[in-house]
Structure 1
């Protein structure tokens, strides 16, 4: 046996112990919009394409498809061939019928990105109007004889393969229910399967008995036998538990007052990397006072982004941000269009101009409730932001909600949230994932927990610019268009960007073979614990 193979065999087995304060929003991979589930589902579900389960690579690769096709018909037609011999974790063989049904289910089950990511598939607009009757007729065509799947688009989309690589395009059995599966795990094709879940206590994954490795970059075999995730500890207790060897990894951001301790005493167990990820304030453009442009602009002028960096982890963990395209994403420009002309220091708050705008908006003295995640860092930042909102003229207060609920709560228009502190991690490393997903009119779903356009921002000019950018094949011209979209959005100020994350991972002493793979962060399947 080669030495390398022997080394891998020696590290196979054991249980990886993870901890998080609370559970995921849903176990349904086509519905969940939670970074915790994104990390877990990477080893459970697959799509026709995926992002590499390896360090240092971002571009989509073939997964359940044998290869990624070069689009034909002026970039509008994609022809895939399904890999043979793959089975779901329930033993069922994967077929092209499962692929077609899964693409329809994106619309039937109400995936948050159904419109923005997949609304360009022929027949998708009819599915968006009447999800229960979705057929994607003419848009998805199968040929079982050759394991073929053809997807036709209305117009070219240079980022379409990236969108197919996102978790919402996971391929499930055709028998999967046409609605959110909630706390019931669905069969997948990955190296692991979810065997139990209690949103109050934890989750357990073990090996998929029908899995075989078809591509080590797309879906590698795992080292550990089981992955156990326990809920209930706060961030301080999680840090201490990892230091004591009780857990191997924690989901939450690391508390500011513990960063120096773990960096100094546990240096070899700390991993830091840049993320295409933002924290920002989402302002509801359909609720007073933020239905008025002047009020939204006032917030952008008043917030102290340098203070936000300190509250959220310090310069080693955060970077100040004032646009919705993070550093490292195509189209990013280091500018602050929401602050307007005459701002010599683009990050310095301007409370004088902000107070004048609040007065001009006619909303001075109005009660404003800021909704934040119940966590040490966000509670502290929330209090700082409350003071800022009060100083510029509003009667402000903070409402802190458990992370298991907050993200869904702020999306649902029935809750009449005025302003919220939230975050966004890239689904894939492209500008549309920040701008089109968060500000596309089609991503406003009143009364739904899956209304990812939290600001309910709908600008016809921006909508037309989305279409132009998606139809532009030249990369330089397309980047310029996304920069212009970012500028236009920030001029309208439906959000106030605060910081870009630099992710700090803290792991146990026993954990080895740490691999960071972009949007998946630490690859649970690739670490070893023995």
Structure 2
């Protein structure tokens, strides 16, 4: 689970319910900025301005920033952005995502399918073959047993990994992971009983190069989970010898990725160097220095002063960067694979009526929110799946785009002309960051465009989270940052009736049926159509008010070659997934 405010990592990263807008929290009121129409269009990445005859720099040192000291570098416990940024460079899983966010083999020889024999006819058994040249940084071969150990350790109830529940599709995984209960309701088990549950988990190394994973039910997107950081291989012998602090010492922090840990100076920096045993092409960079500057303004200043090769632009500096003749040429704008919305409690009147939800959606000027309240960051959203994720439909949901006249007419059709007769409506929010300003913006929208008075209810963040979890709210701000590019990561959790993040209480039996079919459908074309039908139905019901797709603004030095900023990168180190191929020109 990704942590808001220090986001990155894995599984269902709900930036939700507290809506601190992670890196978008600004320290000032609404500044004058250019209209949305003048924002630069996204482009691949800053290209070197040097002449083609200029060769590589003699010093290949890439400098970036983690925004703080990682709480851990343990792959199984990777729930923080800084952790994921480092682990993704030191470890390599069975699969990875290529430049087009398509699943590709990494340590595995191929992506399993029914056709190549990697997936059984019933979709429950995966047989994955490993490359015979994959090595650990100490020269030992990567074995199937290293993946078995890692996945079972991830599910170990004593480890209490936030990421474990994402792998409950594996046979026996839930039973093992929940065997000790919860901190509030603990369950006592003998070591023998736990060992039995561990052995029953459906992950088995058949030999040194073959891994078999058995699921309790088919899930077509399951291989994507094996491409995420928490599913990285881990050596049992290393942990046995070094204990729980194995990741703190470069000597015992043995990985199989393109880089290895050279030093970790707490609260200062981490240094990575090439892994000489890496099975893939040797990185061109000789050193990566990841600083730990918490202040984004100080990090930005370091880039301007020539002390960074890449930096995430603080929201307050975006306008200045756009106006700067040099920095504007180094600017990269990319989707963060995150969507933000207003949650409507479908269980409570009047939001149990789709007509009323539609009216409220029509009353929101998303472009005005982005422009005046959000520093011009983001693109208006009318559906849930964001750009960069298969299933994104740019035109879907525009029937609920800002239209005050239709909003009032729709409210009247729902039985509340000019808002007369509506029950009291409250807007709850976590009283932190810019949330009060956002709440006031929407309060004004509903009053001006719909004629409805909405009472604001600021709350302490933890209390707000409990309030939403108990389904007591009416309207709330929330957002979601995805972990992998598939509708499976976006729709079921929020819009299936039994979805763990369905705090809106939305229910549509047709949507449930479509998603149940899509989850198990192996045929990509059929599966895509099922997800499309499900999202179209969801958007028609308007269970929430889709607000905006998040963006990130990144500066890349013109002498940096091959850095690709993608929606799946960590927030702290943009382009981290391409650093194995990056090099620097003379400058």
**In the alignment, does 2:503 pair up with 1:455?**
yes
Once the 2 structures are TM-superposed, how far is the Cα of residue 268 of structure 1 from its aligned partner?
3.0
Matches within 5 A, 1:32-51: 32-33=78-79, 37-51=83-97
* CA distance 1:226–1:290, change in 2 (3 Å): farther
2:119 corresponds, among 72, 85, 90, to 72
**1:149-179 CA-partner distances (Å, limit 9, x unpaired):** 11123444332222221223222234769xx
Q: Any idea what SS the aligned residue of 2:213 has? A: strand
Give the 3 Å change call, closer, same or farther, for CA 422–238 of structure 1 in structure 2.
Answer: farther
Relative distance call for 1:251 and 1:456 in structure 2 (3 A) is farther
Picking from 203, 209, 217, the partner of 1:140 is 203
Report what 2:492 is aligned to.
436
- For residue 433 of structure 2, the aligned residue among 349, 374, 378 is 374
Structure 2: give runs of 5+ residues left out of the alignment: 1-51, 182-193
Instruction: Identify the residue that residue 318 of structure 1 maps to in structure 2.
Output: 378
Structure 1 unaligned segments of length 5 or more: list them: 445-452
Q: Following superposition of structure 1 onto structure 2, how do residues 239-254 of structure 1 map, counting pairs within 5 Å?
A: 239-251=300-312, 254=315
> Of 184, 189, 196, which aligns to 2:256?
189
Residue number among 125, 130, 148 corresponding to 2:179 in the alignment? 130
CA distance in structure 2 between the partners assigned to 1:285 and 1:11 by the alignment: 61
Structure 1 residues 221 and 257: CA distance shift in structure 2, 3 A:
closer
C-alpha offsets along residues 362-381 of structure 1, whole Å, 9 cap, x if unaligned?
Answer: 333x4x33238737xx7764
Corresponding residue of 1:170: 232
Q: CA deviation at 1:466?
A: 2.5
Residue 435 of structure 1 and its aligned partner are, at CA, apart by 1.3
Distance 2:164 2:360 in 1: 31
* Equivalent residue, structure 2, for 1:99: 147
Match of 1:204 in 2: 270
Q: How far apart are the structure 2 equivalents of 1:519 and 1:233?
A: 23
- CA distance in structure 1 between the partners assigned to 2:170 and 2:135 by the alignment: 27
Partner of 1:17: 64
Equivalent residue for 1:309? 370
Q: Which residue does 2:102 correspond to in 1?
A: 59
Report deviation, 1:393.
Answer: 2.7
Aligned with residue 330 of structure 1, among 370, 376, 390: 390
Secondary structure, counterpart of 1:519 in structure 2: coil
The aligned runs of 1:351-500 (5 Å cut-off) are: 352=408, 356=416, 362-364=423-425, 366=426, 368-371=427-430, 374=433, 381=438, 383-385=440-442, 387-388=444-445, 392-396=452-456, 413=469, 421-439=477-495, 444=500, 453=501, 455=503, 457=505, 459=507, 461=509, 462-490=511-539, 493=542, 495-500=544-549
User: Any residues of structure 2 matched to 1:345-356 within 5 Å, and which?
Assistant: 346-348=401-403, 352=408, 356=416
Q: Aligned in 2, Cα 1:98/1:442: closer, same or farther, shift over 3 Å?
A: farther
TM-superposed deviation, 1:321: 0.8
Q: Structure 1: how far apart are the matches of 2:513 and 2:351? A: 22
Distance 2:227 2:79 in 1: 15
Contact 2:139 2:277 in 1 (8 A): no
The DSSP-based 3-state class of the residue aligned with 2:198 is coil
Q: How far apart are the structure 2 equivalents of 1:303 and 1:202? A: 44
Distance 2:313 2:171 in 1: 40
